[in-house]
Amino acid sequence: MADIRLEGVGHSYDGGRTWALRPMTWTWRSGRAYALLGPSGCGKTTLLNIISGLLSPTVGRVWFDDRDVTGVPTAGRNIAQVFQFPVLYEEMSVYNNLAFPLRNRRYPAAEVDQRVRRVAQLLGLEEHLRRRSRRLDPGRQQIVSLGRGLVRSQVAAVLLDEPLTVVDPAMKWTLRSKLKEIHRDTGHTLIYVTHDQTEALTFADEVVVLNQGAIMQAGEPSELFLSPAHEFVGHFIGSPGMNVLPAELVDGVVRVGDAPVGRAVGQAAGKAAGEAAGELPPGPVRIGVRPEFVRLDGGVAGLAARVTGVDRMGAYNLVHARVNGHTLIAKTDASAAFEPGASQSLRFAEGRAFLFRDAVRCGVIEPLDGRGEA
Ligand X SMILES: Nc1ncnc2c1ncn2[C@@H]1O[C@H](COP(=O)(O)OP(=O)(O)O)[C@@H](O)[C@H]1O
> Where along the sequence are the contacts to ligand X (CB under 6 A)?
13, 20, 38, 40-46
- Beta carbon of residue 42, minimum distance to ligand X (angstroms, whole number): 4
Residues at the contact surface with Mg ion, assessed by CB under 5 A: 44-45
The answer to whether 242 touches 228, Cβ cutoff 8 Å, is yes
Give 352's DSSP letter.
-
Comparison of 40 and 104: residue with beta carbon closer to ligand X:
40
- Beta carbon of residue 78, minimum distance to ligand X (angstroms, whole number): 23
DSSP state string for 75-119? GGT-EEEE-SS--S-TTSBHHHHHHHHHHHTT--HHHHHHHHHHH
> By Cβ distance, which residue is nearest to Mg ion?
45
20 binds, among ligand X, Mg ion, none (CB under 5 to 8 A by kind): ligand X
13 binds, among ligand X, Mg ion, none (CB under 5 to 8 A by kind): ligand X
The DSSP bridge partners found for residue 360 are: 230, 357
The dihedral sign for the CA sequence 17, 19, 25, 27: negative
Comparison of 136 and 218: residue with beta carbon closer to ligand X:
218
The dihedral sign for the CA sequence 195, 201, 202, 208: positive
85 binds, among Mg ion, ligand X, none (CB under 5 to 8 A by kind): none
197 binds, among Mg ion, ligand X, none (CB under 5 to 8 A by kind): none
The residue type at 284: P
Residues in the chain: 374
- Beta carbon of residue 58, minimum distance to Mg ion (angstroms, whole number): 18
DSSP state string for 189-207? -EEEEES-HHHHHHH-SEE
Comparison of 13 and 85: residue with beta carbon closer to ligand X:
13
- Beta carbon of residue 166, minimum distance to ligand X (angstroms, whole number): 16
Comparison of 56 and 114: residue with beta carbon closer to Mg ion:
56
* Residue spans of beta strands (DSSP E) within 131-242: 157-161, 190-194, 206-211, 214-219
d(CA 134, CA 69): 36
128 binds, among Mg ion, ligand X, none (CB under 5 to 8 A by kind): none
Comparison of 54 and 259: residue with beta carbon closer to ligand X:
54
- Beta carbon of residue 52, minimum distance to ligand X (angstroms, whole number): 13
Q: Is 237 left (phi over 0), alpha (psi -120 to 50) or beta?
A: beta
40 binds, among ligand X, Mg ion, none (CB under 5 to 8 A by kind): ligand X
- Beta carbon of residue 126, minimum distance to Mg ion (angstroms, whole number): 31
Comparison of 35 and 285: residue with beta carbon closer to Mg ion:
35
